[in-house]
Amino acid sequence: MRRRASVVGALAVVALAGCGSSSRHAAPAAVTVPAYGVYSQTKVTAATRDCRSAAGAVARDAGMFLAHLRPHGAYPADLYYMIMREHLAGFEADRCDVKLLGTALVKALTPKQRHTLVATLPATMAATVGHGLHRAAS
């Protein structure tokens, strides 16, 4: 009888452990990064990383992108653009708060650099960056 009670108890624990577990964990987000030049479209999925670190990475990438955007850059800004867009897509896929991105950009870039960044980026990236900057300012 004791063995039967422990088996029933174990089954109850297993059954209860499965209840509601799917509702607590949303499906991983994915962000589609459009094609650019010779680079094909790709999908970036959530990496569940630290959002502050991810925002800092985008801000550093943005600084390098802007540094190489100038006519006298050692080489074209395309490399840093590609890195920045991948990091930004990961940031979005992780569903990070854009205010973190805006705060990181305010710390890393001057007002003129932030304006140039938003003006230079494609519309979808500029919208995310602009929204983050707006949220950081409020």
| DSSP letter string, 85-124 | HHHHHHHHHTT--HHHHHHHHHHHS-HHHHHHHHHHS-HH
Give CA–CA dist 77/59, Å, rounded: 15
Q: Where are the domains of the chain?
A: 34-137
| Residues above pLDDT 70, as percent of the chain | 62
Q: How large is the average pLDDT for residues 116-131?
A: 95
Residue 7 has pLDDT above 80, yes or no: no
Residue 21 has pLDDT above 90, yes or no: no
Token pair listed for 121: 């980026």
pLDDT tens for 98-111 read 999 999 999 999 99
Grade residue 41 by pLDDT with cuts at 50, 70 and 90. Answer: low
**SS3 (DSSP) at 38:** coil
Angle of helix 111-120 versus helix 51-69 axis, rounded to 10: 80
pLDDT tens for 45-90 read 656 568 999 999 999 999 999 999 877 666 778 889 989 998 998 8
Question: Which pLDDT belongs to residue 22?
Answer: 33
